[in-house]
């Protein structure tokens, strides 16, 4: 515009009007300003919405897609998977996810992640919606704790999430039975909770089952509440016929747990969270009293324990006090003898003590005293048919004195031999005595005697004698007949005299009997002992003939 | 440089934009009005370089979110999938549909960028009063005008998809925020091309030859 000519030729066109206007900055610059503002706002928004990045490890990335899979809590998107890579040792996958802003507050070390997929289990079907929408990662914030950015993903979704009101309880069981995660927990056949997990003890001796009871039912769990395994069918055949019991159809398939507070008990204090309970085998067994205090004792038996198994009862006066835990076999090389240590478990609370214990009388002292008084363990036959043995603890005052050995890992209670064992021992003794009788000699003598008698009987003299006797008898008969008539009166007096004489003789015998017999008995016993000691001596001599010369020395050599 | 041409400005004449009345330009830098219809008179588009620069810069700024933000959000069976322009191109490349990928890339990424670069080149060369290959530069300007409208293809595709795919839970397509910015890029570049006065390319000649 600066080069407009001063002398423009007149071409017959009109002159342009002139209006003055101030030069301003063009309004068009607003456009890039607006663009900048929008761009800046977008950048700010992107930056401000950027949350923490977390890494989660999973066993497999099945269903997960980088840039698409979401992380959700209560179906609210909290993040998105950025990348999925294999770990260095290719044993698992590492999922990197970007969380939304503010999620840092609830990402703690207790936060759990798991992949929500469609799952079909006996207890139900879950995650059906993911069939169409694809898997997503579920999140459970967990209890507040240390902030973390690295997590280990769960393979199975947790049954109970943090936001669910209720309480966890811990059950201890000998075996898991047919329980599984998700198995229902019943109270009077109402489902009030679930099994949330189980774990084998480190030593493999028991199973810990974790259950969750929903609010408000968790207040029903008292300190003296009993839990039992309500899995499957409970069929009982009794005097009143067959009874079939089950908590619900579901427990038939996936097992379940029921609890109740026994009616004969006062409901105790409400149980605390994570309180430990015993998981009973079935409903019946909850009525059996359980005792928390258990003491282990060791018994040593020298004889065979065939028929004694772990679980056999330990009885005191016929009342069960505990059970056998373990039966072993030990060989003592020094003594060249076998012994059988039996580990038992006694529940001392089963004995109700009355009266006041004297001061300072503690458990050990009482036991020492009782053992001094003759308390011993003994094996007894529980059933003659099956030969099952049980351990009976009874008073045996006649038993040789013994003491409790408190030294070892378990205190050792002295034992006495089995009743059967005693019987056998005495029988053996008896048989031994019989064996010692010179039966052959007696037989020979007897035979000789009989032969002599036979000879005598068959001899001609005897025949003659018999005929002579016969004649004599005949004569005697005649004589007696004569006598009968003549002597009878005299005889009568004679008989009466004889009678009185006999009576006196009887008296004499009686007195003899009472005075002499015991003495004779003692003499015989002394004789017997003498015979036994001779036997022992003979045996000893047989083993140590040199003793004849050297005498019975105190040989310490073995 | 084909010699000196006579231009309206040299002759001191201005044609009205609205009624095309030819009038003598007034002296000085004062604001001129058409004596017949009263519209503004300019011998060149007013403030052309500054306006074009402003619009080009705005387009450049919009170009970033247009490519970073998702342009479509496909919700199919409850599964939302958002795609940016480049992710769409990559998707088509990966599925082996090279022609479609090429079309999208050319129309949506390459052409807008090309336009902006051409405009910037023209602006810089005009500001430097360069007389280098003026005919070719004019050709370049015409090219930006011609191809400019085609960059809207992407927006049309998105619009048609959003309108057509409304299958409820099965599939729904939403236009993403990237689409808006992409539209803004296209519109601002069209305005930038419009506000650029190609006569400025030739004005240098007058100065040189005077």
CB-count burial class (<10 Å; 0-12, 13-18, 19+) for B81: middle
B155 and B185: one domain? yes
Residues sharing a CB contact under 8 Å with residue A520, sequence separation 6 or more, in sequence order? none
Specify the pLDDT at position B75: 80
Q: How is residue A105 written in tokens? A: 């507050």
- Out of A1, A19, A38, the one facing B43 most closely (by C-beta) is A1
Percent of chain A clearing pLDDT 70 (strictly above): 88
Q: How far is B16 from chain A (nearest CA, A)?
A: 10
Specify the pLDDT at position B79: 67
pLDDT for A162 beyond 50: yes
Q: How is residue A433 written in tokens? A: 């005595």
A20 vs B31: CB contact, 8 Å cut-off? yes
| Backbone dihedral region for residue A336 (phi beyond 0: left; psi -120 to 50: alpha; all else: beta) | left
The whole-number average pLDDT for the span A276-286 is: 78
Q: How many CB atoms lie within 10 A of CB A514?
A: 9
Comparing A359 with B90, the larger pLDDT belongs to B90
pLDDT for A528 beyond 90: yes
- Out of B22, B64, B81, the one facing A13 most closely (by C-beta) is B22
Residues sharing a CB contact under 8 Å with residue A356, sequence separation 6 or more, in sequence order? none
Specify the pLDDT at position A476: 82
The alpha carbon of residue B148 and the mean position of all alpha carbons in its chain are separated, in whole angstroms, by 6
B116 and B167: one domain? yes
Between CA A250 and CA A488 the distance in angstroms is: 111
Q: How is residue A98 written in tokens? A: 């970007």
B62 and B157: one domain? yes
Specify the pLDDT at position A2: 42
Query: What residues of A are in contact with residue B78 (Cβ under 8 Å)?
Result: 129, 132-133
B58 and B38: one domain? no
A35 vs B62: CB contact, 8 Å cut-off? yes
pLDDT for A25 beyond 80: no
- Out of A13, A16, A132, the one facing B32 most closely (by C-beta) is A16
Specify the pLDDT at position A500: 92
Q: How confident is the model at residue A529 (pLDDT cuts 50, 70, 90)?
A: very high
Q: How far is A29 from chain B (nearest CA, A)?
A: 5
- Out of A6, A15, A34, the one facing B24 most closely (by C-beta) is A15
Domain boundary assignment for chain A = 47-152, 166-287, 295-352+363-427, 443-549
Q: How far is B100 from chain A (nearest CA, A)?
A: 23
Q: How confident is the model at residue A288 (pLDDT cuts 50, 70, 90)?
A: low
B9 and B91: one domain? no
Query: A20 CB near a chain B CB, below 8 Å?
Result: yes
pLDDT for A1 beyond 50: no
DSSP B149: G
Query: A12 CB near a chain B CB, below 8 Å?
Result: no
Q: Are B50 and A26 in contact (CB under 8 A)?
A: yes
Q: What value of ipTM does the predicted structure carry?
A: 0.73
B24 vs A68: CB contact, 8 Å cut-off? no
B16-49: burial string, b at 16+ Cβ within 10 Å, e else: beeeebebbbbeeeebbbbbeeeeebbbebebbb
The whole-number average pLDDT for the span A122-145 is: 77
Q: Are A363 and A348 in contact (CB under 8 A)?
A: yes
A14, A24, A26, A28: best mutation site toward chain B, by most B Cβ within 10 Å? A28
Lowest mean pLDDT among A40-44, B109-113, B205-209: B205-209
Q: In terms of Cα–Cα distance, which of A335, A338, A329, A295 is closest to A314? A: A295
B123 and B82: one domain? yes
Query: A45 CB near a chain B CB, below 8 Å?
Result: no
Q: How is residue A359 written in tokens? A: 């001061």
Between CA B101 and CA A33 the distance in angstroms is: 34
Q: In terms of Cα–Cα distance, which of A270, A320, A328 is closest to A291? A: A320
**For A400-407, which contacts have Cβ atoms below 8 Å and span 24 or more sequence positions?**
A401/A372, A402/A371, A402/A376, A403/A368, A403/A371, A403/A372, A404/A364, A404/A367, A404/A368, A404/A371, A406/A364
pLDDT digits (tens, 9 = 90+) for B160-191: 888 888 777 678 888 888 888 988 888 888 88
End-to-end CA distance of chain A: 139
How many domains does chain B divide into? 2
Query: A39 CB near a chain B CB, below 8 Å?
Result: yes
Lowest mean pLDDT among A3-7, A356-360, A462-466: A3-7
Specify the pLDDT at position B92: 86
Please state whether beta strands A226-229 and A389-395 pair in parallel, antiparallel, or not at all (unpaired): unpaired
A42 vs B55: CB contact, 8 Å cut-off? no
Query: What residues of A are in contact with residue B34 (Cβ under 8 Å)?
Result: 16-17
Q: Are A257 and A209 in contact (CB under 8 A)?
A: yes
Q: How is residue A533 written in tokens? A: 């000691």
Specify the pLDDT at position A338: 83
Specify the pLDDT at position A22: 61
For A65, half-sphere exposure in the C-beta direction (CA atoms, 13 angstrom radius) is 10
Q: In terms of Cα–Cα distance, which of A288, A283, A294 is closest to A323? A: A294
B141 and B188: one domain? yes
**For A396-402, which contacts have Cβ atoms below 8 Å and span 24 or more sequence positions?**
A397/A373, A398/A374, A399/A374, A401/A372, A402/A371, A402/A376
Question: In DSSP terms, which residues pair with A527 in a beta bridge?
Answer: none
Mean pLDDT of chain A: 80
Crossing angle of helices B177-195 and B111-127, in 10° steps, is 30
pLDDT digits (tens, 9 = 90+) for A490-518: 778 888 899 999 999 999 888 888 888 88
Per-residue HEC secondary structure of A389-448 comes to EEEEEEECCCCCCCCCECCCCCCEECECCCHHHHHHHHHHHHHHHHHHCCHHHHHHHHHH
pLDDT for A47 beyond 70: yes
The whole-number average pLDDT for the span B3-8 is: 72
For A224, half-sphere exposure in the C-beta direction (CA atoms, 13 angstrom radius) is 13
B16 and B77: one domain? no
A4 vs B77: CB contact, 8 Å cut-off? no
B127 and B193: one domain? yes
Between CA B86 and CA A435 the distance in angstroms is: 112
Sign of CA dihedral A176, A179, A182, A185: negative
DSSP H/E element including A85: strand A76-86
Q: Which residue has the tokens 């607006």?
A: A34
pLDDT digits (tens, 9 = 90+) for A68-106: 788 888 888 888 888 888 888 888 899 998 888 877 777
Largest CA distance in chain B: 72
Between CA A378 and CA A552 the distance in angstroms is: 37
A68 vs B55: CB contact, 8 Å cut-off? no
What CATH number does residue B56 fall under? 1.20.140
Please state whether beta strands A389-395 and A375-381 pair in parallel, antiparallel, or not at all (unpaired): antiparallel
Specify the pLDDT at position A122: 61
A39 vs B64: CB contact, 8 Å cut-off? yes
- Out of A14, A36, A68, the one facing B61 most closely (by C-beta) is A36
Between CA A136 and CA A118 the distance in angstroms is: 10
B11 vs A8: CB contact, 8 Å cut-off? yes
Domain that holds residue B145: 47-209
- Out of A5, A17, A28, the one facing B54 most closely (by C-beta) is A28
Mean pLDDT of chain B: 82
pTM of the complete model: 0.47
Distances (CA, A) of A141 to A55, A166, A440, B173: 15, 16, 97, 33
Per-residue HEC secondary structure of A155-195 comes to CCCCCCCCCCCEEEEEEEECCCCCCCCCCEEEECCEEEEEE
Query: What residues of A are in contact with residue B77 (Cβ under 8 Å)?
Result: 132-133
Between CA A393 and CA A419 the distance in angstroms is: 13
Q: Are A132 and B171 in contact (CB under 8 A)?
A: no
Specify the pLDDT at position B121: 92
Q: How far is A95 from chain B (nearest CA, A)?
A: 19
Q: How far is A164 from chain B (nearest CA, A)?
A: 27
How many CB pairs below 8 A link A and B?
A: 123
Torsion of CA A370, A376, A377, A378, to 10 degrees: -150
The whole-number average pLDDT for the span B112-123 is: 90
Query: What residues of A are in contact with residue B69 (Cβ under 8 Å)?
Result: 42
Q: How far is B5 from chain A (nearest CA, A)?
A: 16
Q: Can you give the length of chain A in residues?
A: 558
Q: How far is B184 from chain A (nearest CA, A)?
A: 9
Q: How is residue A349 written in tokens? A: 């609370």
Provide DSSP, A217-249: GGGG-BTT-EEEE--S-EEEEETTEEEEE-S-H
The alpha carbon of residue A373 and the mean position of all alpha carbons in its chain are separated, in whole angstroms, by 31
Percent of chain B clearing pLDDT 70 (strictly above): 91
A133 vs B78: CB contact, 8 Å cut-off? yes
A2, A19, A21, A31: best mutation site toward chain B, by most B Cβ within 10 Å? A31
Restricting to A residues 125-164, those with a Cβ less than 8 Å away from any Cβ of B are 129, 132-134
Between CA A543 and CA A168 the distance in angstroms is: 74
Query: What residues of B are in contact with residue A3 (Cβ under 8 Å)?
Result: 9, 206-207, 210
Q: How confident is the model at residue A332 (pLDDT cuts 50, 70, 90)?
A: confident
For A387, half-sphere exposure in the C-beta direction (CA atoms, 13 angstrom radius) is 4
A15 vs B35: CB contact, 8 Å cut-off? yes
Question: In DSSP terms, which residues pair with A168 in a beta bridge?
Answer: A212
B103 and B119: one domain? yes
Q: How confident is the model at residue A436 (pLDDT cuts 50, 70, 90)?
A: confident
């Amino acid at each position: 515009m600066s080069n407009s000519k001063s002398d423009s030729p007149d071409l017959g066109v009109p002159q342009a009007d002139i209006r003055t206007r101030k030069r301003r900055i063009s309004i068009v610059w607003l456009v890039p300003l607006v663009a900048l503002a929008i761009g800046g706002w977008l950048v700010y928004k992107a930056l401000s919405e950027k949350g923490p990045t977390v890494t989660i490890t999973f066993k497999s990335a099945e269903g997960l897609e980088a840039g698409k899979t979401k992380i959700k809590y209560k179906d609210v998107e909290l993040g998105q998977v950025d990348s999925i890579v294999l770990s260095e040792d290719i044993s698992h996958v590492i999922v990197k996810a970007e969380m939304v802003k503010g999620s840092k507050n609830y990402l703690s070390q207790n936060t759990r992640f798991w992949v929500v997929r469609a799952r079909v289990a006996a207890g139900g079907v879950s995650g059906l919606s993911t069939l169409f929408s694809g898997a997503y990662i579920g999140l459970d914030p967990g209890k507040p704790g240390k902030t973390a950015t690295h997590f280990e993903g769960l393979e199975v979704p947790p049954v109970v999430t943090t936001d669910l009101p209720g309480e966890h309880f811990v059950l201890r069981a000998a075996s898991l039975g047919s329980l599984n995660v998700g198995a229902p927990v019943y109270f009077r056949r109402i489902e009030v909770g679930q099994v949330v997990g189980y774990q084998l003890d480190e030593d493999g001796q028991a199973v810990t089952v974790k259950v969750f009871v929903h609010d408000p039912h968790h207040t029903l769990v008292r300190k003296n509440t009993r839990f039992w395994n309500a899995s499957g069918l409970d069929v009982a055949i009794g005097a009143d016929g067959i009874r079939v019991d089950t908590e619900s159809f579901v427990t038939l398939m996936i097992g379940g747990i029921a609890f109740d507070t026994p009616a004969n008990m006062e409901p105790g204090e409400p149980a605390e969270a994570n309180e430990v309970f015993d998981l009973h085998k079935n409903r019946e067994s909850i009525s059996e009293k359980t005792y928390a205090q258990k003491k282990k004792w060791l018994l040593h038996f020298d004889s065979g324990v065939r028929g004694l198994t772990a679980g056999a009862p330990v009885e005191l006066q016929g009342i069960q006090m505990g059970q056998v835990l373990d039966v072993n076999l030990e060989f003592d090389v020094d003594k060249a003898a076998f012994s059988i240590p039996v580990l038992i478990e006694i529940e001392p609370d089963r004995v109700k003590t009355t009266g006041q214990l004297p001061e300072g009388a503690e458990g050990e002292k009482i036991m020492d005293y009782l053992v001094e008084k003759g308390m011993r363990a003994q094996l007894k036959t529980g059933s003659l048919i099956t030969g099952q043995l049980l351990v009976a603890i009874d008073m045996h005052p006649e038993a040789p004195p013994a003491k409790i050995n408190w030294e070892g890992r378990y205190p050792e209670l002295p034992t006495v031999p089995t009743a059967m064992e005693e019987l056998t021992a005495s029988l053996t003794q008896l048989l031994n005595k019989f064996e010692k009788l010179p039966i052959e000699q007696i037989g020979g003598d007897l035979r000789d005697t009989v032969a002599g008698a036979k000879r005598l009987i068959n001899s001609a003299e005897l025949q003659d004698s018999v005929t002579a006797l016969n004649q004599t008898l005949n004569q005697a008969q005649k004589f007696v007949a004569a006598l009968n008539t003549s002597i009878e009166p005299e005889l009568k007096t004679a008989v009466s005299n004889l009678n009185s004489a006999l009576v006196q003789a009887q008296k004499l015998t009686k007195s003899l009997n009472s005075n002499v017999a015991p003495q004779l008995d003692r003499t015989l016993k002394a004789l017997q002992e003498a015979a036994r000691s001779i036997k022992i001596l003979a045996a000893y001599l047989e083993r140590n003939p040199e003793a004849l010369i050297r005498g019975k020395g105190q040989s310490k050599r073995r | 440089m084909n010699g000196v041409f006579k231009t309206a400005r040299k002759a001191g004449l201005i044609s009205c934009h609205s009624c095309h009345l030819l009038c003598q330009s007034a002296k000085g830098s004062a604001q001129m009005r058409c004596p017949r219809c009263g519209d503004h008179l300019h011998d060149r588009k007013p403030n052309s370089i500054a306006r074009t620069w402003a619009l080009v810069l705005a387009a450049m700024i919009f170009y970033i979110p247009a490519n970073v933000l998702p342009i479509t959000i496909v919700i199919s069976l409850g599964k939302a999938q958002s795609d940016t322009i480049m992710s769409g191109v990559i998707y088509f490349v990966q599925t082996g549909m090279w022609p479609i990928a090429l079309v999208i890339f050319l129309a949506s990424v390459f052409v807008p960028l090309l336009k902006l670069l051409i405009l910037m080149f023209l602006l810089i060369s005009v500001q430097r009063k360069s007389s280098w290959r003026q005919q070719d530069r004019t050709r370049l300007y015409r090219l930006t005008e011609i191809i400019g409208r085609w960059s809207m293809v992407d927006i049309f595709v998105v619009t048609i998809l959003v309108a057509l795919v409304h299958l409820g839970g099965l599939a729904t397509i939403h236009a993403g925020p990237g689409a808006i910015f992409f539209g803004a890029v296209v519109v601002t570049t069209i305005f930038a091309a419009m506000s650029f006065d190609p006569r400025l390319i030739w004005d240098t000649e007058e100065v040189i030859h005077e």
